[in-house]
Every structure is written in structure tokens, then in C-alpha cells.
Structure 1
């Protein structure tokens, strides 16, 4: 007969708070070594199939060092909690005789039993908020400082990502990290984030689809070092370009949104963007795929300005017409002679090609110029 060895646990006195029916938070304390023993940091990356894994931003070294310096000083007060997602194997045992009192019926004290990893097993939990603080605590001289921890229980990484996004919604998360995480969030989001969810998902498809003109060219938070030399366009530029068109009544993507139901014809949006930008690539082959410092077409200003020209060109066209691509090419040829993506000067703007910056003023000036040149050329052609 084989006797099973009981898995070791870390037992900690905790306060359990019921927030909604059957949903609990646990408040307790841990030291830095205990936090690292229980919870890992899930950095953003992609698996072999290209699926997004993880959700944390990379370590911010200067910020971590500042926290370490404070922790190594005298009279430390460290009230900021670390938020951890724990697995369903965690067990909470309420204290004997504990009864909810009349003033705080949602709270219950007891002991939280958290299974510890054995051998090479990964940590059972994930740090949802407090990555930099945890790294700093691990580097500080004092390793017995009790740190406030708030935990919730879930085995679903999508729930963890959702909480990460909400917790960091008012903090300066890198924009690229936000745009890459948004498509994987399935629960309702605040309006500001929800408005970027479809553009972010489209950005992901454009980068991963081999038939896309942007395939492999978009730099995301998960882009590894070997891919970064080719990934010359920031994902925020693509997201803003799509978002501009979806939200403006004059945008070519605007008709594909149903504001009554909140639904978007994503397939038509994708087809529109793909057709237009494939023609842009064919029209400006010498400027395509270069780093933005060598080509302003790949720069944020170029992407946004050409996106507004997309609204002008694509709005009247039928996506199902076999001649659509030829029409787009002919429309782009009207502005091509005036474009200065890699050399020369935008004479009417009074700027050299590399002096166009990713600012609202420069984007507006470049957009207006391209649309004006296109309109005048069409009128002259008639």
C-alpha cells in the first residue's frame, strides 16, 4: 500500500472578504522570499503558435532601484500591497468560533493554506500588480519585512489579465503593452479601453497574417530581439490609424460599426485596410519596410497621414469589385510624385523629409497636404 506524501503548504493568518456572492479576497502578509516562492511574474511573450502569453511589463530597472534604496533606509513604511492570483488548490480554514459581527458581516478571519511547489514545479500563483515592488523587495537587504498581500483565486489567465488591465488603467502602462493585451480581454472594459479593443485586435491580425502587407513589420511588447530589426512600425501607430477611421464619420471604416448594437464588421475592416496598404506598399517600394529614421512612411506621422488619405480613397469603393486594387493604385499615383518619404523636402510644408515628427500638428499638416494634392490631381484629371 502506497502512502501519499502530503504536499507542503505555506499557512498564513488571513482575513477573507466576500465582495460578491461567492467571490472572495484574501488579505495577509508575506516576506519577499515567500512572495517569490508563491508567485511568478508573467512577462508578455508569444508561444510557437503566435498566441499571447503573459501580461506583465518588462522590469523597469531605475524604478526598482529607487524602491530598493528606500527599503534599505531607516524607518521604512511600505503600505502598498502586492496583488496575487492564486490557484483553486488554495484552502481557507476559518477560525474556530468565528462569527460575522453585525458591523462587518462580509469579513471572516482564518488560515490560508497555499500549496508550495515541489522540485522544479512553477510557483502556484502570479503577481497581478506589484511586479516592480516585488523585484525591489527581493534585492533589498532586509528580507524579513512583512508585506501586505491581497489575493484572489482563479485558474483562468484571462481573468488575471483582465484584473491587470483594470488595476493599471490609471497608471502609466506602456501603450504598446496595453494595445497588445486588449484583444485577449473578454469581459466588459471601460469605454476608453473598449474603443481600442477592435483596432488592437486588427493590429494583431495584420502583424501575424502572412498575406498582410504589415506581416512581421509591427513592433509589439512581445516582439523578441531577433524580430525587432524587421518590426519597424509601432503598434500604437497602426491602432491609432484604424481608430481614427472607425470613430470619424468621414472615415472609410466608420460604416462598418453598428453603434446601436456595438458590433463591428471586422472582416470588412480588415479587407479595407489590407487592400489599401498593399497598394501603398506597391506604390512606394523603396520606402516600405525601412526603419522610421530612414523612411517617414513607416513613421507614426506617415502611417496616420496615409491613413487619412485611406479614408478619402477607400470610402466610395466597393470591396467586392475585382478592379478595386487597380483603382486604389491609380489614386495613389496621383500623390506619389509629391511624397518625400526617404529624401528631399516637403516644400509646401517647409520641412525636410526627416523633420516630420509624430505630433498632432505635423500629422495634421501632412494629412491635409496629401488630401489636397489628391483632390487637385483628381480635378485636373477630369
Structure 2
């Protein structure tokens, strides 16, 4: 491994995967990783989602540094990089051993050295390890690297999700990235794409009652956000389940969904929730259990039952608001006791048991109060 005119030259093996994508395997000194590769942090500007990497976990980085500095260690975990098309590869020449199984070509990989933010590679998997290797005492610790050539951030996100799906990666970060990935993903991940995109719309559109209230992985600094996106996504997934889910009628087939109609239905229902419970809306979960994950999930379950009647009504919005007004006096979102549950308002927790009890209680109240009086 040498440097020539602001370029790093390394021995590498090249093969191809996918639709002719060049993939390289090579070794670097640990300190060289952050010299050739940028870390694309997840964040948002006024319009779009940028990057894909989670924040640096200092305790994790410190623990890896301590391990690397503890003495002779084995650390064969490969770093995954996305390489720009500016890298070049020269195939080695010479005789080949008889019976060689040639899966790839050996040669020299030329990686340009550039300043931070303009580097020729991006770390897809292994950012904490890369940061630790840069801080370790042994700057020449050899690190295995696998790099694929792509400047498409969508491809980077896809690989980031696929690699980290089997690790303890924040599900909120995966959920937020999913709508930005257009290629085919495993079925269990693809199922999350639609509710996560609906969650994005509810957070971004000014007509939405959730406008800027949803806490997403990329906007932790937004003090206005009070609703856990994981809870809302779980509620929307419930609404999508057939045959009685409030949104299932708009999900005709995998390629024939009507997300606009789903969004309008969500806005209709949750706008009514906001207007019927104004004192409980928009507050921190510690001040209002309506904004708590238990409240969001329970009211999401109630949506299926209420919208089933509303969709067959000539005035759906009126039907929803009247249903919520009937149960409003019996709700204890910010004070009082939930009669029938025997729980103070702030004793409601986000446990599966409390989620189920609260949802069933609200639906039972709705069924009871929606019956015509004789």
C-alpha cells in the first residue's frame, strides 16, 4: 500500500455482482479508512432526506478502541465501502497457477485522496469501527475492506439496511430510510415502506394534524416533535390489515395501492381526534397519554371501527366527529381515572398489556354509545 500524487494504491481483487457492478476486496491500515471515506450522516434539509448513517455512538467507539489497544488482537470484521467511479483498477499480469479457481482478478486499486466531504468513498457498514481504528494506538492495524462501485445514495441506503437488518439497528432509522429506497427489498422490510411513507407525509404536510409533531430519527433536534414514529407506524400497519382495517380498502394489490386516499383518510380521522381532544393534543407523552405510544396505538385501533361506519355514511367526517364526541367525556388523557380500567391517566404505559386494554376499552365504549337508543 503506497501513496502516489494524492492517490492511495492497494493490492485488491476485483469481481462483479448484480448488473455488472464492480466489487473489490482489499486491506487497508485502520488509520486510512477515514482518509479515503466519508460518513454520510442521516439528516433532513427543507425538502429531502439526506444520508443514511446513524449518529456516532461514543461509548461504542470507546469500547472498540480499548479492545484494539489491549494488545495483539484478532479483528477480522470487514468494513463495507461504496466507491465512486473515480477509482481505477490495473489488472496484474503474469502466469496463472494450473487449476486456479478464478472468481476475481487480482491487481492494483487506485483510490484518490481528497478532503472531507469530497472523498472517493462512503462508509456503508462499519462507521463505529472505522472511527475507533482511526483513534487506536496502532495506526497500521490491517483491516479487511469490501467496496462496491456506486455513487447512488439510494443504493448505499439499500445496502446499509440489508447489512444492518440482522444487527441491533434502531428500527426507527430503518423505517425512515425505507421510503427512500426504490429497489426490491426483503418482504418483511417492504411491508414497512408504505406505512413509513404515510408517516412521512403526516409529518411534512401542513394540512396534517401531525405536522412536525412526529419524532423521526433524522430530526432529534426538533423540540416540537412529541409523537413516537414507531407507534404511529404500528397503528397505520394495523389500519392496513384486511378485511376490517380502515385503510385496507385502498390496498387492492401490491402494485395497485392508493396512498393518496390512505393519507386523506388518516388526515380526516386524526384531525377529528385533535379537534375533539384539544387539551390533550400536541403535548409531551408525560403530560398527555393521547400523545403516548399507548394512546396513538389505541386510537389507531379505534380508527378501524369508526371508519368502517364512516365510510358507509353520506357524511364521513360528521360520523367520525360524533363518534369521538360520544366517548370524549369518558376519556382520561391528561387527568382523572379510566373508569372500567381502574387506572389513573398517567398509569397507562406502553406495554402490550396496556396497549390492548386501552384499545379494547375505547372500542367497547364506541360500540356501546353508537347503538341507537330506544
Q: CA deviation at 1:380?
A: 4.9
Residue in 1 that maps onto 2:151? 155
2:316 aligned to 315, 320, 324, which one? 324
Q: Does 1:299 align with 2:292?
A: yes
Q: Does 1:113 align with 2:93?
A: no
SS at 2:371's partner residue?
helix
Q: Give runs of aligned pairs for residues 182-331 of structure 1, distance below 5 A.
A: 182-225=178-221, 227=222, 229-259=223-253, 261-318=254-311, 323-331=315-323
Change (3 A) 1:100 1:44: farther
Q: CA deviation at 1:121?
A: 5.8
Residue in 1 that maps onto 2:73? 76
Q: Does the CA contact (< 8 Å) of 1:95 and 1:109 recur in 2?
A: yes
Q: Does 1:345 align with 2:341?
A: no
Q: Give runs of aligned pairs for residues 338-377 of structure 1, distance below 5 A.
A: 338-377=330-369
Change (3 A) 1:297 1:160: same
Change (3 A) 1:101 1:195: farther
Q: Does the CA contact (< 8 Å) of 1:115 and 1:124 recur in 2?
A: yes
Q: CA deviation at 1:103?
A: 4.4
CA-to-aligned-CA distance 1:177-225 (integer Å, 9 cap, x gap):
0111000010111111111100000000100001100000000111142
Q: CA deviation at 1:352?
A: 1.1
Q: Distance in 1 between matches of 2:8 and 2:350?
A: 51
Q: CA deviation at 1:320?
A: 9.9
> Which ranges of 4 or more aligned residues in structure 1 deviate by more than 3 Å?
98-103, 318-321
Moved more, 231-240 or 243-252: 243-252
Q: Does the CA contact (< 8 Å) of 1:100 and 1:108 recur in 2?
A: no
Q: CA deviation at 1:133?
A: 0.5
Change (3 A) 1:35 1:320: farther
Q: Distance in 2 between matches of 1:211 and 1:81?
A: 46
Residue in 2 that maps onto 1:90? 87
Structure 2 unaligned spans of 5+: none
SS at 2:53's partner residue?
coil
Residue in 1 that maps onto 2:58? 61
Q: CA deviation at 1:105?
A: 2.6
CA RMSD in angstroms comes to 1.9
Q: Does the CA contact (< 8 Å) of 2:246 and 2:304 recur in 1?
A: yes
Q: Does the CA contact (< 8 Å) of 1:183 and 1:201 recur in 2?
A: yes
Change (3 A) 1:146 1:328: same
Q: Does the CA contact (< 8 Å) of 1:98 and 1:109 recur in 2?
A: no
2:44 aligned to 30, 33, 46, which one? 46
Q: Does the CA contact (< 8 Å) of 2:79 and 2:126 recur in 1?
A: yes
Q: Distance in 2 between matches of 1:94 and 1:101?
A: 19
Q: Does the CA contact (< 8 Å) of 2:310 and 2:317 recur in 1?
A: no
TM score, norm. by length of structure 2: 0.95
Q: Does the CA contact (< 8 Å) of 1:18 and 1:106 recur in 2?
A: no
2:173 aligned to 138, 161, 177, which one? 177
Q: Distance in 2 between matches of 1:101 and 1:355?
A: 74
Q: Does the CA contact (< 8 Å) of 1:116 and 1:123 recur in 2?
A: yes
SS at 1:186's partner residue?
coil
